[in-house]
Chain A
Amino acid sequence: MGRTVFVMAILLMFAAISLVTARYQSRQLFIEREQLVSQFNELDVVWRNLQLDRAELSRNARIDQIARDTLKMQPIAPARTIYVREAPGLPAGGG
Chain B
Amino acid sequence: MRRFSFFDSPVVRVSFPTWRARLVLLVLGLAFLVLLGRAVYLQSVNREFLQEQGGKRFERTLPLPATRGKVVDRQGVVLAASIPARAVWAIPEDTKSATAQQWAKLSELLDMPEAMIKARLADDSKTFVYLRRQLSLALVEQVAALRMPGVHSLPETRRFYPEGEVTGTVVGFTDLDDLGQEGIELTYNDRLSGKPGSRRVIKDRLGQVIEDVRAVNLPVNGQDIELSIDTRIQYLVYRTLAEAVQFNEAQSASGIVVDVQTGEVLALVNFPTFDPNDRSTLRGVNLRNRVLTDTFEPGSILKPFTMGLAMALDRIDDNTKIDTGRGEVVFHGERIRDVSKNGVLNPMGIMVKSSNIGMARISQRLEAQEMWTQFTALGFGQPPVIGFPGAAAGRLRPWERWRPIEQATMAYGYGLSTSLLQVAKAYTAFARDGDMVNLTLIKRKDLPATIPVYDASVAQTIRDMLEASAGPEGAKLAQVQGYRVAGKSGTARKIINREYSQKFYRSSFVGFGPVSNPRVVVAVSIDEPMAGHYYGGRVAAPVFATVMGRTLRMLGVEPDAPFDSEVVAQTQSESGSRP
Are the CB atoms of A64 and B567 closer together than 8 Å?
no
Are the CB atoms of A78 and B482 closer together than 8 Å?
yes
Bound CA span A81–B481, Å: 12
**A60 in contact with B235 given A49-B83, A51-B81, A83-B558 (CB within 8 Å):** yes
Least CB distance from B578 to A in Å reads 15
**A79 in contact with B210 given A45-B83, A55-B162, A60-B235 (CB within 8 Å):** no
Bound CA span A48–B394, Å: 42
Bound CA span A72–B81, Å: 33
For residue A76, CB closer than 8 A to chain B, the reply is yes
Bound CA span A27–B483, Å: 71
For residue B160, CB closer than 8 A to chain A, the reply is yes
Are the CB atoms of A79 and B235 closer together than 8 Å?
no
For residue B144, CB closer than 8 A to chain A, the reply is no
Closest to A55 in B: B162
Chain A residues 24-58 with CB under 8 Å of chain B are 27, 30-31, 34, 45, 48-49, 51-52, 55-56, 58
For residue B559, CB closer than 8 A to chain A, the reply is yes
Are the CB atoms of A55 and B567 closer together than 8 Å?
no
Q: Main SS of the interface on chain A?
A: helix
Are the CB atoms of A80 and B235 closer together than 8 Å?
no
Are the CB atoms of A78 and B481 closer together than 8 Å?
yes
Closest to B84 in A: A45
Query: Which residues in A have their C-beta under 8 angstroms from that of B558?
Result: 83
Are the CB atoms of A61 and B235 closer together than 8 Å?
yes
**A48 in contact with B83 given A55-B78, A60-B235 (CB within 8 Å):** yes
For residue A59, CB closer than 8 A to chain B, the reply is yes
Bound CA span A76–B162, Å: 26
Query: Which residues in A have their C-beta under 8 angstroms from that of B81?
Result: 48, 51-52, 55
Are the CB atoms of A79 and B163 closer together than 8 Å?
no
Query: Which residues in B have their C-beta under 8 angstroms from that of A1?
Result: none
Bound CA span A82–B83, Å: 45
Count contacts between A and B, CB distance < 8 Å: 75
Closest to A75 in B: B550
Are the CB atoms of A79 and B137 closer together than 8 Å?
no
Most chain B beta-carbon neighbours within 10 Å: one of A58, A75, A78: A78
Are the CB atoms of A78 and B563 closer together than 8 Å?
yes
Q: Give the size of the chain B interface in residues (CB under 8 angstroms).
A: 36
Are the CB atoms of B166 and A60 closer together than 8 Å?
yes
* Contact digits for B559-579, partner A, Cβ 8 Å, 1 yes 0 no: 100011111100100000000
Are the CB atoms of B210 and A30 closer together than 8 Å?
yes
For residue B365, CB closer than 8 A to chain A, the reply is no
Q: Give the size of the chain A interface in residues (CB under 8 angstroms).
A: 25
Query: Which residues in B have their C-beta under 8 angstroms from that of A56?
Result: 162
Query: Which residues in B have their C-beta under 8 angstroms from that of A31?
Result: 210
Are the CB atoms of B209 and A34 closer together than 8 Å?
yes
* Contact digits for B77-95, partner A, Cβ 8 Å, 1 yes 0 no: 1100111100000000000
Task: Choose among B77, B137, B565 the residue that contacts A78 (Cβ–Cβ < 8 A).
Answer: B565
Are the CB atoms of A76 and B166 closer together than 8 Å?
no
Bound CA span A49–B559, Å: 41
Least CB distance from A55 to B in Å reads 3
Bound CA span A76–B551, Å: 11
Bound CA span A51–B162, Å: 10
For residue B243, CB closer than 8 A to chain A, the reply is no
Most chain A beta-carbon neighbours within 10 Å: one of B82, B83, B164: B83
Query: Which residues in A have their C-beta under 8 angstroms from that of B209?
Result: 34
For residue A92, CB closer than 8 A to chain B, the reply is no
Bound CA span A51–B563, Å: 42
Query: Which residues in A have their C-beta under 8 angstroms from that of B482?
Result: 77-79
Bound CA span A75–B84, Å: 39
Bound CA span A49–B82, Å: 9
Query: Which residues in B have their C-beta under 8 angstroms from that of A64?
Result: 235, 239
Are the CB atoms of B83 and A58 closer together than 8 Å?
no
Least CB distance from A68 to B in Å reads 10
Closest to A82 in B: B567
Task: Choose among B77, B210, B565 the residue that contacts A27 (Cβ–Cβ < 8 A).
Answer: B210
* Contact digits for B534-556, partner A, Cβ 8 Å, 1 yes 0 no: 00000000000000011001000
Are the CB atoms of A82 and B568 closer together than 8 Å?
yes
Q: What are 20 pairs between A and B in contact, CB < 8 Å? A: A27-B210, A48-B82, A49-B83, A51-B81, A52-B160, A55-B77, A58-B77, A59-B164, A60-B232, A64-B235, A76-B553, A78-B481, A78-B553, A79-B481, A79-B482, A79-B563, A79-B565, A79-B566, A80-B567, A82-B568
A contacts, CB < 8 Å to B: 27, 30-31, 34, 45, 48-49, 51-52, 55-56, 58-61, 64, 75-83
**Leading 9 A-B pairs by shortest Cβ distance:** A78-B482, A55-B162, A60-B235, A55-B78, A48-B83, A79-B566, A78-B559, A82-B567, A80-B567
Known: A27-B210, A31-B210. 18 other contacts (CB 8 A): A30-B212, A34-B209, A48-B82, A52-B83, A52-B162, A56-B162, A59-B162, A60-B231, A61-B166, A75-B550, A77-B482, A78-B563, A79-B563, A79-B565, A80-B566, A81-B567, A82-B565, A82-B571
